[in-house]
Chains A and B, each alone.
Chain A
C-alpha cells in the first residue's frame, strides 16, 4: 500500500469518496472537496456567519474575569476559580488583577458608601464591552445589611448589572450557573437593558448648592469627583 492512500490503511470504509487522488483525476464533476465535514455543512464548504455573531461567540467563550474581592462572597468566588469547581472549564476563569485587562466583573459583596466611588472607577476602567455579574444578596439589595447607615442598597445603584446570583453567599455552583447564563447571553448577542443609575461620580462644583454642599465647601475642592448618596430615596 502506498503512502498516497494513508486513510485506507486506517479505515476500511471509503465512503464518502475521500480518495482525493481518484477524484482529482476522475471523470465528471470535480468533487475533491467532498468530505464528512462538507456533508455536515451542506452545499458550501464554508461557514457563513455574521462577523458580530462570530465575535459574540468568541467573547462568550473567552472571558477574563476581574480579580475583585470585596467581602464574604469573594471566598466562594475563589473556590469557584480553584480546584473542584474550576470555572476555567467554561472558558471564563482567568482572573486579571487589572481592570484594563478584564471583561467581566463579578461583584462579590457588600458595597458601602466609601467603596462606591472606587467601584465605579474600577468599572469605568474596564474596556468595552464589559459585563457585570452581581454575586450575593448584598449586590441585589444590600442583603442582610440593607438597614445599615453606610450600605449601598445593591450594586445596581452604581453600575449596571447583567446577571444577579442570589444567595448569602451563593454556592460556587450557583456562580458557575450565573456565569454560564451570562456566556449564553453574550453568545446570543443579547445586551443588558440600560438601567438608571442613581449614583454617579460628579464634580463637586456641579452639585446643587444645598445645605450639605455648602457645609462641605471648605473641605472639598470644586473639581474633586464625588458621589452623593441620597439615602432617603433608596429602595
Chain B
C-alpha cells in the first residue's frame, strides 16, 4: 500500500544548530521536551524570539501555550510548529520568578496568544506585560486566587455576579455618541451551541464589536486529569471535552501523548481498530455540525436536522456495538484498545459496511438539500470570511483552516495510527467562507468513509492468532520525573494537543489541553465584525465549536 498523501508545499528542515545560531545569546539554556528542542529565554525577550522564529525559521503556528508553577518559578511554554510541516517543533520556555511573575506578552506576534495568556493568567497567575486585555477568561471576573497555582485553597468561598446579564432591551448600554446598541447573546441561547455568551455591539444590523465570553462550562478538566493516574483514571475525561460523539478522537490525543511519554508501542491491529473508531466518531461529529448549522442558518429543524440525527443514530449504534457506550466510549487504553471487535465479527462488519454503502446516497441527499439550496448559498457564500493569514495568526486548525485553503491535517502531516498506510485525501477548499467550511466537512465525511472501508477490509482478513488489542503495559505507570511531551492529533474540530509533564509519580504534574475550538472561536471577531448579525450566527455555526472543549 502506498499513501498517496503528498503535501503541496515542502519546506527545508531547520536543524537545532540553525535555531541556536538564530537565537544566539538570547538562549539562557536548554530544556528539551520529548517532541521538540526547548530553549529557555528571558521573560523580556519573548516577542523578539517568537518573531524571529516565525519570520526567519518559519515557525508560523503557535500551537499552544502552557503555563505552570514549579516550587521555585513560574514557566510559560510556547509550543511552536509549522503549518507546512508540523513535525518540526520548537518549545520556547520562559521562566519567571515566583514573587513577581511578569512575562512579556506574545500577542503582537501571534494574535492567538491573546486568549492563551488570559487563560494562563486566570488559572496559573502569570502576568503578561503589554497584553492588550488582561482579564480573566474562564473563571468569573470576581474570582479570588488562581486555581492551578500552588497553595490554592479550593474550600474558600467565592462570589459570582450576575451583572453581565443586563437586560438588552433597556437602553442602559446605549452609547449616545455612536448610537450603537449593546446586545448579550447567550449564555442561554439556541444559536450558541451551548453556553457561550457573546457580548455584541451593534450599529443598526451591523456588528461593530464582539467579545465572546466563555467559561460557562469550565469544569476543571485539567485539574481532573492531574488528579488521575495515567493508566486508567484519565481516559474517561477526554470523552467529555468534545462531547459531540468525538470521544475516540479525544481519547487518542491523550493516548498518543501518554504513550510517547511512557514509551509504549501500540500493536498494529489495535491501531487499525483505533483508526476505524476515530473516523466513525468524525462522521458522527460532522453530521451534528451539519444538522445544527442548517438549524442555525435557515431554521431547518424538520428535514436536515432530523436527517443528520437519523444518520448519527446509525453511527452511534455501530460505536455502541464496538465500545459498549453511545457517547462516552472510554474504549482506548494506553497501548491499545479495551477489547476486540464484538462477536460475531461478521455481523459487526456487515453492519458497518451497510452504513458505508448507504452513505453516498445520503451525502447526495444532503447536497441536494443543503449545499445546492439557493437560500443556503446566499446565506453562506462570502459571509464569515477568514483569510489564510488570519487562520495562521489565530492558530485555527481542522475544517476551519482547511476551508480557508490552509492544507494542514495532522493525520497526514504528523502521522499516527494507521493513517499513513491508507488511501485517502485531505480536503481543502479555497472559499474561506462559511460555505467552504460546510463543503469541507461534507467531503471529510466521505473521506472518513473511505478510511473505514479500508480498515474493515484489513480487520476482516487479519489472521486470528495475531489479533493483539493491547500491548503489555505495566499496571502502574511512573514516567521519569520532569519528562515533558506535547503531542497533538487531528480531532473532529482540529488540532487537539496534550502537554504532559511527569513529576515521577503515577499522576501527571501538569496536564494541559490544547483545544482546537478555543482557537477557532477566538477568530470569530475577524469573521463577524463589520458583517450583519445574522451572519454572526452563521459564522458561529460554521466554526462548529463545542463549549466543553472551549472551556475544558
Q: Which positions in A face B, CB cutoff 8 Å?
A: 67-72, 74-76, 78-79, 82-84, 97, 99, 109-110, 112-119, 121-122, 138, 144-145, 147-151, 168-169, 171, 201, 204, 207, 212-213, 215-216, 219-221, 224-232
Contacts and interface: CB of A to CB of B under 8 A. Distances in A.
Contact of A150 (B162, B219, B244): B219
Contact of B220 (A151, A220, A224): A151
Contacts of B190: 67, 97
Interface string B193-204: 111000000000
Contact of B240 (A97, A118, A144, A213): A144
B9 interface: no
B388 interface: no
Given A75-B244, A145-B224, A225-B163, A115 B327 contact: no
A227 B157 contact: no
Size bin of chain B's contact surface: 35 or more
A84 B219 CA distance: 31
Contact of A114 (B218, B221, B312, B326): B218
B310 A84 contact: yes
A169 B325 CA distance: 10
B17 to A, nearest CB: 44
Contact of A72 (B158, B163, B327): B327
A72 B243 contact: yes
Given A212-B159, A226-B142, A229-B160, 18 more contacts: A71-B547, A71-B548, A72-B240, A113-B160, A121-B165, A144-B237, A148-B219, A149-B152, A149-B154, A150-B139, A150-B219, A151-B219, A207-B159, A220-B163, A226-B160, A226-B162, A231-B154, A231-B156
Contacts of B162: 117-118, 121, 201, 224-227
Nearest to B242: A72
B27 to A, nearest CB: 36
Contact of A219 (B141, B215, B243): B141
Given A220-B159, A220-B161, A228-B157, A112 B217 contact: yes
A221 B161 CA distance: 10
Interface string B161-173: 1110100000000
Interface string B531-543: 0000000000000
Q: Which of B161, B224, B244, B326 has the most CB of A within 10 A?
A: B161
B287 to A, nearest CB: 11
Contact of B245 (A75, A97, A114): A75
A78 B144 CA distance: 36
B392 to A, nearest CB: 31
B187 interface: yes
Given A72-B240, A231-B155, A148 B160 contact: no
A70 B194 contact: yes
B315 to A, nearest CB: 12
14 contacts: A69-B193, A69-B194, A71-B219, A79-B309, A118-B162, A145-B220, A147-B223, A148-B219, A149-B147, A150-B139, A150-B147, A150-B219, A226-B161, A231-B154
Interface in B309-336: 309-310, 312-313, 316, 326-328
Contacts of A219: 141-142
Interface of B is mostly: loop
A114 B193 CA distance: 17
Contacts of B147: 149-150
Contacts of A229: 157-160
Contact of B187 (A74, A115, A151): A115
A97 to B, nearest CB: 5
Contact of A204 (B161, B307, B316, B547): B161
B217 A232 contact: no
Interface string B338-366: 00000000000000000000000000000
The 10 A-B residue pairs whose C-beta atoms are closest, nearest first, are A148-B220, A72-B243, A82-B309, A232-B155, A225-B162, A117-B162, A115-B216, A145-B219, A149-B147, A83-B310
Contacts of A213: 159
B151 to A, nearest CB: 13
Nearest to B213: A114
A96 to B, nearest CB: 10
B218 A150 contact: yes
A12 B305 CA distance: 50
Contact of A117 (B161, B195, B244, B288): B161
Nearest to B136: A114
Nearest to A229: B158
A216 B161 CA distance: 11
B224 A83 contact: no
A228 B140 CA distance: 12
Contacts of A76: 326-327
Contacts of A227: 159-160, 162
B160 A147 contact: no
Contacts of B328: 72, 168-169
Contact of B224 (A71, A144, A232): A144
Contacts of B243: 71-72, 75
Contacts of B245: 75
A112 B219 contact: yes
Contacts of A72: 240, 243, 327-328, 548
Contacts of A147: 220, 223-224, 227
B187 A118 contact: yes
Interface string B119-149: 0000000000000000000011111100100
B327 A169 contact: yes
Q: Which of B152, B219, B221 has the most CB of A within 10 A?
A: B219
Q: Which of A69, A121, A147 has the most CB of B within 10 A?
A: A69
A142 to B, nearest CB: 9
Contact of A82 (B141, B188, B189, B306): B306
B158 A113 contact: yes
Nearest to A172: B326
A230 B154 CA distance: 10
B311 to A, nearest CB: 9
A117 to B, nearest CB: 4
Nearest to B292: A78
Contact of A71 (B194, B220, B312): B194
Nearest to A145: B219
A229 B139 CA distance: 13
